[in-house]
Structure 1
Amino acid sequence: MWLNDLYHSLDPVAFTLGPFQVRWYGIAYLAGFVCAGLVIARVAKRWKLDLATDDVLSIMIDVAVGVIVGARIFYVLFYGAGYYLEHPLEIFALNQGGMSFHGGLVGALVGGTIACKRWKLSVLTVADLAAIGAPIGLFFGRCANFVNGELWGKETSLPWGVTFSSGGNVYRHPSQLYEALLEGVVLFCVLFALSRRRPPRAQGTFIGTFLTLYGVFRFLIEFVRLPDVQLGYLLGTNWLTMGQVLSLPLIVAGIVVLVFARRYDRSQVGRLEPATDDAA
């Protein structure tokens, strides 16, 4: 059980600076945004889009704010189970954890749209670029979940089962690593390979593919991942989780976007028109 041995040697705290602790989870967020930004810049250059470094940086800042705010809001609304109604001040206690990917996605789309409107950029093209880079952030985030020993899976007798300190003295599916592999590595490889076609595929192709595949991967992994303890399984079932419920709209939305992309076949573009001084 080599993963079990590895887990028990991992510390959620990367290093300490005086009274401050720097955790791997925070490093994962930072690494995800930086690497995604580099991928966006590289793909934009290959597509010969009119996107400057400042454009990419502005987009990433707005998206980062949207991810954090959206992820927290969704967690409070869909996973809080009424707890935050009784403890409203703890909504702002981000250091205690509690983030939702689905909310982060919505927040990223809102933040990215605001950036695009400000800098006169194509929302769909930027969404496509962001979709190519996003799996890198997912990979780092799920690895950090594993380091933290959270979001683990059901019991298993498979040779890669892991014993988590908070999960009882049983071997469990390392569902965090399953997600890191599928939502991170596999999804990035698919999207990055698609991005190498010249001319680039139509607007909406990449964000549509991202939504569809992420929704499918997350829905399937939820079968071996335990639901949040405060919610349990939904509708009296022993399999339906909130993660699956929130993933179904992503699959539908992704398919709709792909149909739209195929039907209208719009070329990828960068800046819609020169940014004015007011946007600076």
Structure 2
Amino acid sequence: MPFFVLPFPVIDPVAVHLGPFPIRWYALAYIGGFICAWIGMRRLVGADALWAPGQPRPSREAVDDLIVYTAFGVIIGGRLGHVLFYDPTFYLAHPLEILQTWKGGMAFHGGLIGVLVGMGLFARKYATPFLTVSDICATVTPIGLFFGRLANFIRPEMWGRETDVPWAMVFPTAGDAPRHPSQLYEAGLEGIALFALLLLAARAGGLKRPGLATGIFGVGYGLARIFCEFFREPDPVQEALPHGLTMGMALSAPLILIGGALLVFSLRRRSATA
């Protein structure tokens, strides 16, 4: 038992009431993430110095459509991913629960698949290279991850394993044991650190090599997620796997392999300036 435990900052999960309608921090996290991603993508495509002369990329106006495609991908894919990856038996018996997203259950890896589908449809409609579209989305995605993990912390959910570190917290509904604030670990690594790395890569000319930013995101997110899973308490039914592994680890490992392959491909390929 630690000598010192940080108090959990209890925050009302409802940010504001608009008449009978509660607006939750969780919803605001999604809205804020999409707005910031939209602004970020418009700035990326409008910064000529980040791109090679004549390199095809979406216009700022087309980005308005891209954020719609990806938003639908995140919401639909995220919910279906939770249903299929984590608790298919329950939802097969209660199919109407699938539509009740306010009861929780959005999977990042499902949202990622949904975004890939949305990006593919957008790339086809606007005749833009898919890897260029994915690089743009990958560069700004950590912004949404940061907001999402903060929302997990406020809710609170997805708390950490029991620990005696000085910054341990006792989470409501998680018992009396101090735990890792693993949501903040993920916000820092998957959000702030990964975003900074992708921005540095973009400023160094990374967007001139299609697939580079996507590869960095895949490897960076996969490693960060697996690392944080060692501190996060897995759901014993939905997330825990044999030998101390978790579903999050299993779903993130392929991202590292795919991201690594994209890095090799983009670095060996001639850049758009060549």
TM-score by length of 2: 0.92
Aligned to 1:15: 16
Shift of 1:52: 2.6
**Is 1:81–1:230's contact at 8 Å kept on the other side of the alignment?**
no
**Is 2:131–2:211's contact at 8 Å kept on the other side of the alignment?**
yes
Superposed CA RMSD in Å reads 1.6
Distance 2:246 2:217 in 1: 21
Q: Which moved more, 1:180-189 or 1:87-96?
A: 87-96
State which of 235, 239, 264 in structure 1 corresponds to 2:269: 264
Q: Which moved more, 1:164-173 or 1:256-265?
A: 256-265
Distance 1:38 1:78 in 2: 32
Shift of 1:144: 0.3
Shift of 1:210: 0.1
Distance 1:257 1:97 in 2: 33
Distance 1:259 1:55 in 2: 29
Shift of 1:3: 4.5
**Compared with structure 1, are the counterparts of its residues 215 and 81 closer, same or farther at alpha carbon in structure 2 (3 Å cutoff)?**
same
**Is 2:73–2:114's contact at 8 Å kept on the other side of the alignment?**
yes
The answer to whether structure 1 residue 176 and structure 2 residue 183 are counterparts is: yes
**Is 1:222–1:241's contact at 8 Å kept on the other side of the alignment?**
yes
Shift of 1:5: 3.9
TM-score by length of 1: 0.90
State which of 151, 155, 159 in structure 2 corresponds to 1:152: 159
State which of 138, 156, 169 in structure 2 corresponds to 1:162: 169
Structure 2 matches for 1:235-246, cutoff 5 A? 235=242, 237=243, 239-246=244-251
**Compared with structure 1, are the counterparts of its residues 216 and 199 closer, same or farther at alpha carbon in structure 2 (3 Å cutoff)?**
closer
Distance 1:138 1:150 in 2: 15
**Compared with structure 1, are the counterparts of its residues 199 and 16 closer, same or farther at alpha carbon in structure 2 (3 Å cutoff)?**
closer
Aligned to 1:251: 256
Shift of 1:81: 5.0
**Is 1:161–1:173's contact at 8 Å kept on the other side of the alignment?**
yes
Shift of 1:199: 7.7
Shift of 1:22: 0.3
SS in 2 for 1:4: coil
Distance 1:112 1:23 in 2: 28
Structure 1 gaps, min length 5: 269-280
State which of 67, 75, 85 in structure 1 corresponds to 2:74: 67
Structure 2 gaps, min length 5: none
Distance 2:59 2:46 in 1: 9
**Is 1:234–1:242's contact at 8 Å kept on the other side of the alignment?**
yes
Distance 2:205 2:222 in 1: 27
Shift of 1:197: 2.0
The answer to whether structure 1 residue 205 and structure 2 residue 209 are counterparts is: no
Distance 1:51 1:74 in 2: 28
Aligned to 2:7: 4
Aligned to 2:133: 126
